A = this chain, B = another copy of it.
Amino acid sequence: MTTTLNHTHDVKARSWLESANAPGSDFPIQNLPFCVFRRQGAGDVPRCGIAIGDRIVDVAKAAASFTRPALEAAMACGNTTLNELMGLAPSTLSALRSQLFNLLSRGTTTGRDLIEAAMVPIPYADLLMPVRVGGYTDFFASIHHATNAGRLFRPDQPLLPNYKYVPVGYNGRAASIQIGKTPVNRPYGQLRKPGTDAPGFMPCEKLDHEVELGIFIGKGSVQGEPISVDDAWDHIFGVCLLNDWSARDVQAWEAQPLGPFLAKSFATGISPWIITAEALVPYRVQPAARPDGDPAPLPHLVGEADQALGAMHILIDAHLASQRMRANAQQAARLSRSDSATLYWTPGQMIAHHTSNGSFLQTGDLLGSGTISGPDDTSLGSLLEITRGGSQPFKLPSGEERGFLEDGDELTLSGFCERPGFARIGFGECRSTILPALPVNKNSPS
């Protein structure tokens, strides 16, 4: 399991690019997250890049700076998605990171010209879907979220009997994944309003966000050869922010007995930056102990390394700014701060479970963590939970209230890792605005 610290994690390291050294920068030299971008206005094709400070390095353009095996990875950055790169051996990816780190380090002169010539300021780049996603699985790994959401539907039995045994997940629609900056039109859907017998087809009235992490699979696996819990991190390319937009009223009506479908498939936002598994090493932590009385996981979901450092300590904030707040230049209101270390299941357990029936994972598959909620009221990862199903509206500094999202609202996820003795690294943002429902169907109510 990838848990080795090396010189790329050195908190004292600095870059010759001063913007990377600014306190609070999401992209210091210890981070180096991947993206896919296109230089604005130049008619360029998409390329794979690495973020540092306020720049993106067009890695393939600087390929001559690298030696084998990093060179192979640098060349793969000439593609329009990260998929080829993601399928390379972790050691090759690590070599690229190491050489990039050295090339960008303060004091380095050799090769600096070439790297500088391959840099694009982030504001001059369009950030694009970084990965061609094959399969998208969304888990349900936060026991706090599962309990909070379950309580609204089943007060007597918030948590179902399988929860503490099965890392529950379901297949999402891969085509729904989009870069978070893309606006989201309020979806139409079938829903049954309280007090009515029959459903109607109308714009969603309970539109919600969900604070999640997305875990991208690097090296794939083979049918019939499950990935063990302790090998799982060798198959993780990196992690992004994920907003699993949800139409709660549609979901409540459609999801029995086969699970959510159209309530989720209209849009799923991800941040454009993928923080690599290697950059996350310092922020790996021991999973939270299971409460007394909880069953031990079944043996195929247990691993020594996973029990030691299988969880990730990533903090994710959700902020909301209404149209009125933005017009008045009011700061966005923080809805929540989630910590992925509070999840009941680790990424290793999710991956081992996913392949435990003999099925395989592919390079470019995306696993969502499920909504990350913590034990207290400031760490609830959806409005459903924050407002108790809309019954206790959230008060905005503008004087407005929100049960669920309104048209014009802007929802932003941001995330970071920090740990004493290590750098702070950031995830950037996953930010989208809600637009009104389109008159979507010629048979829709007008």
Contacts and interface: CB of A to CB of B under 8 A. Distances in A.
A135 B166 CA distance: 25
A440 B353 CA distance: 12
Contacts of A327: none
B165 A358 contact: no
**Best-buried of A138, A189, A442, A443 by chain B (most CB within 10 Å):** A443
Chain A interface helix/strand/loop/mixed: loop
B257 A258 contact: no
Contacts of A140: 258
Given A189-B356, A260-B258, A359-B175, A443 B166 contact: no
A256 interface: yes
Contacts of A60: none
Contacts of A134: 174-175
A328 interface: no
Contact of A254 (B137, B168, B200): B168
A225 B169 CA distance: 29
A166 B200 CA distance: 11
Contacts of A257: 150, 153, 160, 168, 255, 259
**Best-buried of A172, A175, A302 by chain B (most CB within 10 Å):** A175
Nearest to A200: B298
Interface in A236-289: 247, 250, 253-263, 265-267
Interface string A166-178: 1011111111100
Nearest to A189: B357
Nearest to A445: B299
A228 B262 contact: no
Contacts of A299: 201, 443-445
Contacts of A190: 162, 165-166, 298, 356
A172 B174 CA distance: 11
A432 to B, nearest CB: 14
B358 A188 contact: yes
A199 B162 contact: yes
Interface string A90-110: 000000000000000000000
Interface residues of A, number: 75
Contacts of A169: 258, 261
A233 to B, nearest CB: 16
Given A198-B295, A356-B262, A300 B443 contact: yes
**Best-buried of A188, A254, A353, A360 by chain B (most CB within 10 Å):** A254
A362 interface: yes
Contacts of A397: none
A4 interface: no
Contact of A261 (B170, B225, B247): B170
B357 A259 contact: no
B165 A199 contact: yes
A138 B171 CA distance: 11
A162 B356 contact: no
A21 to B, nearest CB: 41
Given A187-B358, A262-B357, 16 more contacts: A137-B261, A162-B256, A165-B190, A165-B198, A166-B199, A170-B258, A170-B260, A175-B362, A176-B359, A188-B357, A188-B358, A224-B440, A226-B441, A228-B443, A263-B357, A302-B443
Interface of A: 134-135, 137-138, 140, 150, 153, 160, 162, 165-166, 168-176, 185, 187-190, 198-201, 224-226, 228-229, 247, 250, 253-263, 265-267, 295, 298-303, 352-354, 356-360, 362, 365, 437-438, 440-445
- Which 8 pairs between the two chains have the least Cβ-Cβ distance? A259-B259, A170-B258, A171-B171, A187-B357, A300-B443, A262-B357, A258-B259, A226-B441
